Structure 1
Amino acid sequence: MPSPTSNSLTHRLVDRHLAFGLACVFAGTVAIHLTLWQGDNQMIAGAVAVPLGVLLVGGWMLRNVTRVPGSIEGQLRNLAEQTAVPLQPLKESGPVAAGWNSLLSRLNRHDAAHSLADRLTEAFCQSGGSRWEAAFMNLPDGFAITNESGTIEACNPALLRVLRLPSDQAITGRNLQHLLQQWTGETDNPALQQLAQSSCKITCELRCGSTTAEGVLRVARCGIADSQDSGTSQGLVWNIRDNTQQRLSEEMRNEFVFTATHELRTPLANIKAYAETLTLDMDLDIEKQKGFFNIINAEATRLARFIDELLDVSQMESGSMGVVRHETDLERLLQEVFEHVQPQARKQQLELESVLPPKLPKVQADKDKLAAAMVNLLGNAIKYTPQGGQVRLKVEQDKQYVHLQVEDTGIGIHEDEISRIGEKFFRCHDERIQDIPGSGLGVAFAQEVARLHGGKLSIRSQLNEGSQFTLSLPAAREAS
């Protein structure tokens, strides 16, 4: 195989043209010596003219051969001295000129691509970059970028909110792990120790205090890979989310499952026991039989009410709960509700009072759902009021709303828990209510019914003194 330089310019000049010219000069010199020896003047002139002609033809051929390489060499020298000098294509023919022109075409396409990339990058930085920054600053989760040791280099405002820090506090340059430790109030937290001992990808949960309500954070951390795929990390990105409400919801669901099991088991056990007694004891007198049948009926009603609550929860969860409004006689509806809860009040030995104005307006409402909401509110008032207490149903009206108020002299609600009373499955942590059956759904249902009617449910309560639940419905517009 010939060497890469076998067709080089030097090889061609020396091997072809220069060697040929030297041969011609040598031949001319020999001819001159012969003619001088013979003394022929004409031959001397010819011997001199032939080498000169060969040299002229060789020079012309050499000039043609070196024109293209010389042009290329000149452009490259200019490019080395002045980088802004553009390279020019060659007009000559031949493989060298064609190769040079092809190379320039490729370089021009490469430069055009780089120019387009630069323009796109500049446009992104001017417009898109600001959009990404705006999105980062408005994310609901806390985000931070730190170095390997956890020192904060950038963060969004949500991080301050999640860590319960003042919104104007500057935390750039502080250690994020120290801030998390400050939030938990612990120095020996296993999750924090794991974060400190390694910079690898990790997801963990941190708790503030002994109860879920005090705060739960989900912390996710991963490395920022080098853009050159060198395997080295360029820092850490952190995502910190407040999971308190999610964990509270899970706890309330677990409590609800426990309560639901009790709510189902107790009436079923009573129904089974009294039904077996009625079946096996044929000598029971009529009065006892009636009493047993009444108990079975009451327990079946209790089961049906609980199942209705479960269906209501399902509709509230899916957002499919709706109301069908009709003109409703409010006075008659409240009388029916009052009569429905009277047996429960008598059993609890409570004073149940109804305070209604002489004339109640008609309202546009879903009668069944409004009645169920009022039964829930009155039932709760009776359930959480000790024996000898009082429960009152009142109705007030203004230009905008009709207010249905349920007042009691019961155990009341701690001020820290009032805002959570309307949450599904939530029950107060007061030890006095732990043995009182309940699903934590009644108030949530009443609140949803009020919302669907365009009204609201407001709660006022004082621990150990009593509570007031007010379901407000929009007043009917008078026909003009």
Structure 2
Amino acid sequence: MHPRSTLLVLVAAALPAALALLVVGIAASRELDAATLDMLERVARAGAGLLAETGGLDDPVLRRRLVDRLADGYGVRVTLLDPEGRAVVDSDADPATVGPRPAPVSASARTPSGWTLRVTLRTDEEEPISGRLDGPLTLGLLFAALTALGMALLSRRVLGRPLTQLVTRIEALAQRQRPRHRVHSAVAELRALSDAVDTLAEEVRRGVTRAREERDRIDAVLASMTEGVVVVDTDARVRLVNQAFRRITGAPAEVEGRPLLEVVRSERLDRAARETLEGATGTVTELTLQKRPPRTVVATVAPLVGAEGEMHGAVLVLRDVTERRRVLAMREDFVANVSHELKTPIAAVRGYAETLLDGALDDEETAREFVQTICDHAQRMQALVEDLLDLAALDAGAVEPKPSEVSVQEAVQMAFDQVQAAAKRRGVPLLRTLPRDLPPLYVDPAWIVQVLSNLLDNAIKYSEPGAPVRVEAEADHETVELRVVDQGPGVPEAARERIFERFYRVDPGRSRAMGGTGLGLSIVRHLVEQSGGSVHLVCPPEGGSIFSVRLPRAKPPIAA
């Protein structure tokens, strides 16, 4: 038990007893003083009457005898004073030495003739009766102090150790530690208190466990969400965010307590949150976050309302629709491009067919020319449809590559065979520079031939007659790089990032005139990436284009 606690117990036990004893002593002393004074007054009156009745005032011997009898009979000091106030007789002293002033405790009575009889406690008893109680009172106070000390020591013995154990137990529970010992005490109330503390601690522990599990579940849900979630209070200050919110908005690490407008620089989002906090039922808004690149976000804002309708804040769910908007835009562009690509040849075929039906069939030369044109447009539409089907299959994952070892020389030769007729018509020579020790590729044979033929066909279309198109190759430890090099006009820098997009053409009019579908390079990129490779364009300063394809090489066989 702490010394201060022991002192408090001592004071608590001694103070009431000491105060009670002090009050009783004061009251008793006052009563004794009053009784003494009353006794002295009665003696004085009786003595004065006796002197007057017996005529002792005129006889000195009789005066002396009566004074001594009164003094001895009542154990007091008796003094007789004449009418002038001079002491004539004193039972205890020479009258000449007695002064006119009375003692502290005294009583006087006057006779009809003016004599005064003064009765006083004797010299050794002039202290008031209350003063005689100081000793017993002091002893009583000392006894009370000793009793209180004993009670304090007993309390310390009986209560000190159990209370110390109880405090230690509570401190251990507060630090989420399991106490080692139980509280042992002969006091039933302390045992009950210890059991109540244990029960409360167990309930708190269960509550904390449930709260932690609930928090972990909420954190897991928020962390797994692809939508950004932010909770704000009634002042539109951020209280909670998930990781997706940081990713979508680019918010800093420390956001709690900061205004929403400061975390996300969007007045529209801040206005939607404040309108909801002011009593709106919720809102949905679309906004653009100025990031690099910008992000399009749909924000759903809902109020956080308590059980009694009080407003606690608002929750905002941000869904990044940038990719969806991009896909929709690509789909719209795709439909528009396909429609445009089909519209021209269909119109041409219909026009030539109507012309033939109107009588051009009779002119054999004209009819032959028109039929050839119709055939060319039909081939163009067929190529477009085939390319579209290939892209659709690649996008849907309906076509899986079947990789195997492929000789680079054989793949290049097969691609040359497919584009040889077009190269002859354009007057473009096809060349190759391939090392003899070039390792084989590990790709789908049909895919690599299609990649090379599409690149060669594209190079032939944009090369001037007589300007060669060359295929080069080199290998490293992991891959083989194939390059299709032409001496055409090249690709402007602004168009290089989009050159592999569907239907994108640097010069749309020239591409359509050459019969291109605008899908060849997009197919090349899909085939190469799904084969585990990469493709990119390089345009040298001196002109021309270099399409570089890097694909995995076949691993050498493991020696037995």
- TM interval, shorter chain, is 0.5 to 0.7
Aligned to 2:288: 207
Question: 2:484 & 2:325 partners in 1: Cα distance?
Answer: 32
Aligned to 1:284: 363
Please say if residues 212 and 247 of structure 1, whose CA atoms lie closer than 8 Å, have aligned partners that are also in contact. no
Q: Determine helix, strand or coil for the equivalent of 1:172.
A: coil
- Alpha-carbon displacement from aligned partner over 1:22-73 (angstroms, at most 9, x marks no partner): xxxxxxxxxxxxxxxxxxxxxxxxxxxxxxxxxxxxxxxxxxxxxxxxxxxx
1:300-319 mapped onto 2 (5 Å cutoff): 300-319=378-397
Please say if residues 276 and 302 of structure 2, whose CA atoms lie closer than 8 Å, have aligned partners that are also in contact. no
Task: Look up the equivalent residue of 1:224 and give its one-letter code.
Answer: L
Task: Look up the equivalent residue of 2:389 and give its one-letter code.
Answer: L
Question: 1:157 & 1:174 partners in 2: Cα distance?
Answer: 17
The one of 434, 438, 447 equivalent to 1:357 is 434
Shift in alpha-carbon separation, 1:453–1:160, aligned structure 2, 3 A:
closer
Using the TM superposition, give the Cα deviation of residue 461 of structure 1 relative to its aligned residue in structure 2, in angstroms. 5.3
Please say if residues 146 and 152 of structure 1, whose CA atoms lie closer than 8 Å, have aligned partners that are also in contact. yes
The one of 248, 261, 272 equivalent to 1:162 is 248
* 1:173 equivalent in alignment to 2:173: no
* 1:393 equivalent in alignment to 2:477: no
Shift in alpha-carbon separation, 1:380–1:231, aligned structure 2, 3 A:
farther
Q: Determine helix, strand or coil for the equivalent of 1:237.
A: strand
Please say if residues 355 and 393 of structure 1, whose CA atoms lie closer than 8 Å, have aligned partners that are also in contact. yes
Question: 1:362 & 1:318 partners in 2: Cα distance?
Answer: 29
Using the TM superposition, give the Cα deviation of residue 131 of structure 1 relative to its aligned residue in structure 2, in angstroms. 5.0
Q: Determine helix, strand or coil for the equivalent of 2:484.
A: strand
Aligned to 1:453: 531
- Alpha-carbon displacement from aligned partner over 1:333-355 (angstroms, at most 9, x marks no partner): 434434544666688x7956533
* 1:223 equivalent in alignment to 2:303: yes
Question: 1:175 & 1:435 partners in 2: Cα distance?
Answer: 56
Q: Determine helix, strand or coil for the equivalent of 2:250.
A: coil
Shift in alpha-carbon separation, 1:278–1:401, aligned structure 2, 3 A:
farther
Question: 2:346 & 2:472 partners in 1: Cα distance?
Answer: 36
Aligned to 1:298: 376
Question: 2:429 & 2:534 partners in 1: Cα distance?
Answer: 24
Q: Determine helix, strand or coil for the equivalent of 1:314.
A: helix
Please say if residues 405 and 554 of structure 2, whose CA atoms lie closer than 8 Å, have aligned partners that are also in contact. no
Shift in alpha-carbon separation, 1:354–1:439, aligned structure 2, 3 A:
same
Q: Unaligned regions of 5+ residues in structure 2, if any?
A: 1-188, 194-198
- Alpha-carbon displacement from aligned partner over 1:295-345 (angstroms, at most 9, x marks no partner): 333322222222222222322332222123455554344344345446666
Task: Look up the equivalent residue of 1:172 and give its one-letter code.
Answer: E
Task: Look up the equivalent residue of 1:456 and give its one-letter code.
Answer: S
Aligned to 1:129: 215
Using the TM superposition, give the Cα deviation of residue 257 of structure 1 relative to its aligned residue in structure 2, in angstroms. 0.6
Q: Unaligned regions of 5+ residues in structure 1, if any?
A: 1-81, 87-111
Task: Look up the equivalent residue of 2:297 and give its one-letter code.
Answer: L
Aligned to 2:316: 238
- Alpha-carbon displacement from aligned partner over 1:98-129 (angstroms, at most 9, x marks no partner): xxxxxxxxxxxxxx9x9998665432334452
Question: 2:303 & 2:379 partners in 1: Cα distance?
Answer: 59
The one of 326, 329, 348 equivalent to 1:248 is 326
1:33-72 mapped onto 2 (5 Å cutoff): none
Question: 2:379 & 2:271 partners in 1: Cα distance?
Answer: 55
Task: Look up the equivalent residue of 2:305 and give its one-letter code.
Answer: A
Shift in alpha-carbon separation, 1:352–1:290, aligned structure 2, 3 A:
farther
- Alpha-carbon displacement from aligned partner over 1:209-265 (angstroms, at most 9, x marks no partner): 7x9963312222212231x2x233321111223322221221111111110001112
Please say if residues 205 and 218 of structure 1, whose CA atoms lie closer than 8 Å, have aligned partners that are also in contact. yes
Q: Aligned residues, how many?
A: 359
Aligned to 1:145: 231
Shift in alpha-carbon separation, 1:115–1:382, aligned structure 2, 3 A:
farther
Aligned to 1:70: none
Using the TM superposition, give the Cα deviation of residue 130 of structure 1 relative to its aligned residue in structure 2, in angstroms. 3.4
Using the TM superposition, give the Cα deviation of residue 400 of structure 1 relative to its aligned residue in structure 2, in angstroms. 2.8
Shift in alpha-carbon separation, 1:471–1:259, aligned structure 2, 3 A:
same
Question: 1:133 & 1:163 partners in 2: Cα distance?
Answer: 19
Task: Look up the equivalent residue of 1:296 and give its one-letter code.
Answer: I
Q: Determine helix, strand or coil for the equivalent of 1:282.
A: helix
Shift in alpha-carbon separation, 1:120–1:362, aligned structure 2, 3 A:
same
Percent identity of equivalent pairs = 24
**Greater displacement, 117-126 / 300-309:** 117-126
Question: 1:148 & 1:163 partners in 2: Cα distance?
Answer: 22
Question: 2:211 & 2:518 partners in 1: Cα distance?
Answer: 53
Shift in alpha-carbon separation, 1:304–1:464, aligned structure 2, 3 A:
farther
* 1:412 equivalent in alignment to 2:491: yes
- Alpha-carbon displacement from aligned partner over 1:384-416 (angstroms, at most 9, x marks no partner): 779998754323333432322234554536479
Question: 1:196 & 1:390 partners in 2: Cα distance?
Answer: 67
Task: Look up the equivalent residue of 1:234 and give its one-letter code.
Answer: H
Question: 1:205 & 1:388 partners in 2: Cα distance?
Answer: 56
Q: Determine helix, strand or coil for the equivalent of 2:352.
A: helix
TM-score by length of 1: 0.60
Please say if residues 276 and 303 of structure 2, whose CA atoms lie closer than 8 Å, have aligned partners that are also in contact. no
* 1:331 equivalent in alignment to 2:409: yes
Question: 1:416 & 1:162 partners in 2: Cα distance?
Answer: 29
Q: Determine helix, strand or coil for the equivalent of 1:239.
A: strand
- Alpha-carbon displacement from aligned partner over 1:264-284 (angstroms, at most 9, x marks no partner): 122222333334445542333
Q: Determine helix, strand or coil for the equivalent of 2:258.
A: coil
| Larger Rg computed on CA atoms | 2
Aligned to 1:273: 351
Question: 1:389 & 1:232 partners in 2: Cα distance?
Answer: 80
Q: Determine helix, strand or coil for the equivalent of 2:361.
A: coil
Task: Look up the equivalent residue of 2:284 and give its one-letter code.
Answer: T
